[in-house]
Structure 1
């Protein structure tokens, strides 16, 4: 074997061992009781919880999430410092012979199994592969466990072999699973990056680390308030766009609004949710649905202009969701057409 390759494999193996050791130590710390410990020999011990894990600089996805993972860490650190201060005061009271009350963690922000301030494990019940470059994760949870308002999403965090953590936003869609129960489905587009490589290895029975709900700055009421709303989705960006369509469908004020939706994907198999959008069309007479498959017809400024030629775009609103470069291109094209009010999901 090439010595350089052998050295690289050894380094990777060592990194995996270090990451596993950190995980094991954290698990041991989490399982230990914290606070004022009355030992069998009559002594009193102050056992503090471990501090929150500081996110890596590149864990922030720079998408304007509310709260940002860095803000969440700051809040967790402040909460930790308050908890430590409380424990220290109670420890002094305990050794002075006074009664103490050990505080418990405040879970008021919890929403089902989700919590916006901490990542929690959720088991994967089933995994489909709609096409070569995507995965569809069906989570072992119900719609009541994932109570998300329109425009909200969740964060998925993956821990790599070297201990590095990567966090990215995803939007679950509530669909009926094979067992007849409505469960959260996550459509994940696989790219040539570390997060995709990690997610690609997941199997049914594994768990993913999630937190949420995470608010966005998108205002759906504003988007549907004027005469024309243009929705443009690229790849897995169809999930939040579908969520916006559901919002319009159930809201009688917007059900008859003119909505033009553009759904861009690699091929026919990647057009996830297209059959459900076509069902919505039957109940939403003003909904127009265009699909573009990159191996046949790329979406372009010219095609956008042709599709919107018969509409008054002066006061139109648009929402775009897709990869960064896709969002930039489409925003520019819409601006050239005359649509100035653009929101990015």
Structure 2
């Protein structure tokens, strides 16, 4: 009763209407761009200049307020600047053609209209879920129907994923896909998603995601952090909890393909609830065969040693929550060593582990939010 006059409900309905309008504008623009030839074109006996539509300006609420670099609003300004340069060059070409020069299609390319794969930095694209399954009772693994040829992320880049709910609410959150081999043998983006219970809206969303579901994905988005800084030191500690293992694994992949870092002492500290949610442990162990300085320590907070699955494929597994003493046992005393660390997990994990690492003698510590 009275819902129609409730200011909060009215504001929500207005936002839903604006979102639908923006989606329809983008759909029409995409459909038009796919069927119309742009540039300097000869039609019959005439030469015409047909400029592509300018990039659509995102709405203020398209920004997720997570401090992304670049922000979607900044990316729009970059795209608009590129568009204006393209339009100016096409106009100059048109004038030359009117003066008698031949039409040269290779003279200028419309940069903003070139296909960039499945990812679009300025707007959300629909990408299908190829496979999804639970990792124990606390996490979900989602494999996207994409490959390294059409889903390209550099070190330190992530994507934004938008969840839309039946009540019209929308939530946008950053996620770091890991490019690794899928069961079909193709390298595809994998999303590791922690589930936090029924009262957590994003967990509600991910629990309902199934094969064939189309996710609203935007990116790539770069972090402000220098993701290779830790490798400038003699010892590098990489500590992760929950979904924080994804950006940490990105860093480890970078070290694996760079021969300069393969012999560096790299200590991976991976905290999870149980064996089932200890994602990427096998891949990290494979890296250790080519990286003699790599050490891998896993800590399982919700699993007893007597109930554990075999850990023969792991370098070292300890049962119980990570503590200052256990961390010191893993990394050793580093006061006389040039050592840096990267820590990625929930806020309390980042705070505690950073404090313990300083006690162990690590002075250069980067923290990333998971």
By the TM > 0.5 criterion, same fold?
A: yes
**8 Å contact kept, 1:153–1:172:** no
Change (3 A) 1:326 1:114: same
Change (3 A) 1:329 1:29: same
TM-score (norm: length of structure 1): 0.75
For 1:66-105, list aligned pairs within 5 A.
67-76=70-79, 78=81, 105=110
**8 Å contact kept, 2:268–2:296:** yes
Out of 190, 206, 219, the residue aligned to residue 195 of structure 2 is 190
Instruction: List alignment gaps of at least 5 residues for structure 2.
Output: 40-47, 93-102, 304-319
Match of 1:342 in 2: 365
Out of 202, 206, 216, the residue aligned to residue 199 of structure 1 is 206
Partner SS state of residue 240, structure 2: strand
Q: 1:9, CA displacement in angstroms?
A: 10
Partner SS state of residue 353, structure 2: helix
> Following the alignment from structure 1 to structure 2, what is the Cα–Cα distance between the partners of residues 331 and 340?
9
Partner SS state of residue 173, structure 1: strand
**8 Å contact kept, 1:115–1:213:** no
Match of 1:156 in 2: 160
TM-score (norm: length of structure 2): 0.71
> Following the alignment from structure 2 to structure 1, what is the Cα–Cα distance between the partners of residues 109 and 206?
34
Q: 1:232, CA displacement in angstroms?
A: 0.2
Work out whether 1:238 is the aligned partner of 2:245.
Answer: yes
Out of 107, 118, 126, the residue aligned to residue 121 of structure 1 is 126
> Following the alignment from structure 1 to structure 2, what is the Cα–Cα distance between the partners of residues 313 and 242?
27
Out of 204, 211, 234, the residue aligned to residue 219 of structure 2 is 211
Instruction: List alignment gaps of at least 5 residues for structure 1.
Output: 37-43, 90-99
Match of 2:316 in 1: none
**8 Å contact kept, 1:238–1:321:** yes
What RMSD, in angstroms, separates the aligned Cα atoms of the two structures?
4.4
Match of 1:254 in 2: 261
Partner SS state of residue 192, structure 2: strand
For 1:251-330, list aligned pairs within 5 A.
251-296=258-303, 297-312=320-335, 314-330=337-353
**8 Å contact kept, 1:124–1:205:** yes
> Following the alignment from structure 1 to structure 2, what is the Cα–Cα distance between the partners of residues 251 and 87?
42
Match of 1:171 in 2: 177
Q: 1:158, CA displacement in angstroms?
A: 0.4
Aligned residues: 337
Change (3 A) 1:200 1:20: farther
Partner SS state of residue 129, structure 1: strand
Match of 1:31 in 2: 31
For 1:10-25, list aligned pairs within 5 A.
19-20=19-20, 23-24=23-24
Partner SS state of residue 158, structure 2: strand
Query: C-alpha offsets along residues 58-96 of structure 1, whole Å, 9 cap, x if unaligned?
Result: 603126x3x23332233345567778999999xxxxxxx
Range with greater deviation from structure 2 (308-317 or 239-248) = 308-317
Query: C-alpha offsets along residues 164-206 of structure 1, whole Å, 9 cap, x if unaligned?
Result: 451414132222x222222221212234544443333322222
Work out whether 1:227 is the aligned partner of 2:252.
Answer: no
Query: C-alpha offsets along residues 262-290 of structure 1, whole Å, 9 cap, x if unaligned?
Result: 00112221110112212222333322211
**8 Å contact kept, 1:109–1:116:** no
**8 Å contact kept, 1:60–1:70:** no
Query: C-alpha offsets along residues 245-271 of structure 1, whole Å, 9 cap, x if unaligned?
Result: 222233222222211110011222111
Out of 40, 46, 58, the residue aligned to residue 54 of structure 1 is 58
> Which fold has the larger relative contact order, with Cα–Cα distance below 8 Å and residues 6 or more apart in sequence?
1
Change (3 A) 1:338 1:51: same
> Following the alignment from structure 2 to structure 1, what is the Cα–Cα distance between the partners of residues 117 and 58?
25
Change (3 A) 1:313 1:145: farther
Match of 1:92 in 2: none
**8 Å contact kept, 2:180–2:187:** yes
Out of 106, 111, 135, the residue aligned to residue 106 of structure 1 is 111
> Following the alignment from structure 1 to structure 2, what is the Cα–Cα distance between the partners of residues 15 and 158?
15
